[in-house]
Amino acid sequence: MKPQRTADLSLFLTVTGLLLASLAFVYSASASFSAAKMGASESMLFTHAKKVFLSLVALIVFTKVDYHKFEKNTKWIMLSSLFLLVVVLVAGHRELGARRWLALGPFSFQPAEFAKFALVLHVAALCAAKQEIIGDFKKAFLPILLWAVAAAALIAKQPNMSTAGVLMIITFGMLYVAQVPLKYMISTGMLALFGGGVYFLTAAYRVQRMLAFVGHHTDHTSQVAYQTNQALLAFGNGGIFGVGIGQSRQSMFFLPESYGDFIYSVIGEEYGFIGAALLLVVFAFIIVRGVQIAKHAPDAFGRYAAFGITMTIAVYALINAFVNVGLMPVTGLPMPFVSYGGTSMIFSAAAVGMLLNISKYAVTLPKPPRISFGERLTKFFHPRESEEAIA
């Protein structure tokens, strides 16, 4: 199948603009820390600039690669990611009590970031292959879910519960779009929540984060809440129009991870409410374009893969923003294309490149029959009646 048109230029320019804008964001947020720890305020900027360059290369390369080539190989891609998740547990670099980084010569990366998009592709391929039997619990739903559980369990073992939880959310989102019966999703979702809740209680620091979030203050929770409080101070300092580019005070050792997970707070301080809101508008545009690409993909695999990639970016951006403004407990999820780092940015750019490649094949498809939430509930409680109505 040959492409019918060029890639979505507006999406390409938007993501490229975010990557380039991150240079200014990261420099403002990291200058003080970089000067104190590395001897020069530009050190972290140069490192980040290299990752931005690699991300742009990944974005362009994957835009050129026919996405159909991945469909028959998703199983091996997924198995490779699971293998790396096992390796990182055995030989990964331990930092702050967690094994998340794997060194490959002079380079290091997080296998969880690879597994995240490997799972999206594999779930997309399985949903496409099992369209005719997607309502079969044993032959479709359970086999697909087991892949997600395997990846989430290995990531949770690092430990990295936030990423593991996001993987399950994305999987359930893709299964819902594939029209898996709601009764399967509700029952397994409840089991997943119960299992996740039990696992959540096994670590004191996770409990302290939740207690700090709900406002229960002790010596330990006050330390955990410090980061959120400093982030809120940054937004307060910024007001409507911000204090100006490079004028952030909270990034001067007050706000931990100001260049990483909490860079959105620094953006809110320097660019104000208008700048912070504009960034969310940019992500909203990316999401809208991604959904449009998914709707007009020429085949089921392209449709599910495009939706999965878009949902991944949306969930990460939303959770990061919510954490920064104190609407969620602190997690370790970065702001896509903006936070300092490499693995997440590069893999996210590669995923958007694939999304852009899918857009090349976009066609105007007849709208599939929609099943409303109410109809799904009716089918759940009265399956025979709804089948007779359809017949």
pLDDT digits (tens, 9 = 90+) for 14-40: 999 999 999 999 999 999 989 988 888
- Peptide bond preceding 368 in cis form (omega within 30 of 0): no
Q: Computed over its alpha carbons, how large is the radius of gyration of the chain?
A: 22
The answer, yes or no, to whether residue 104 has pLDDT greater than 70, is yes
Confidence of residue 368 (pLDDT cuts 50, 70, 90): very low
pLDDT at residue 233, as a whole number: 94
| Cβ neighbours for 256, distance < 8 A, ≥ 6 positions apart | 226, 227, 230, 262
The predicted model gives 253-264 an average pLDDT of 90
More confident residue, 387 or 20: 20
How many structural domains comprise the chain?
1
Confidence of residue 277 (pLDDT cuts 50, 70, 90): very high
Do the domain assignments include residue 41?
yes
Do the domain assignments include residue 1?
no
pLDDT at residue 221, as a whole number: 52
Closest CA to 358 of 276, 313, 300: 300
pLDDT at residue 386, as a whole number: 44
pLDDT at residue 63, as a whole number: 96
pLDDT at residue 195, as a whole number: 86
With H, G, I as helix, E, B as strand and everything else as coil, classify residue 199.
helix
Do the domain assignments include residue 71?
yes
Do the domain assignments include residue 151?
yes
Contact 227, 237 (CB under 8 A): no
Residue 309's domain spans which residues? 9-390
Do the domain assignments include residue 46?
yes
More confident residue, 189 or 382: 189
Confidence of residue 379 (pLDDT cuts 50, 70, 90): low
* Burial tier of 253 (Cβ tally within 10 Å: 0-12, 13-18, 19+): exposed
- pTM, whole model, 2 decimals? 0.89
The answer, yes or no, to whether residue 388 has pLDDT greater than 70, is no
**Percentage with pLDDT > 90 across the chain:** 67
- Tokens 């010569």: give the residue: 105
pLDDT at residue 6, as a whole number: 85
Do the domain assignments include residue 2?
no
Cross-strand partners of 104:
107
Do the domain assignments include residue 130?
yes
| Cβ neighbours for 47, distance < 8 A, ≥ 6 positions apart | none
The answer, yes or no, to whether residue 324 has pLDDT greater than 80, is yes
Question: Count of residues for the chain?
Answer: 391
Do the domain assignments include residue 162?
yes
The predicted model gives 216-223 an average pLDDT of 56
pLDDT at residue 266, as a whole number: 96
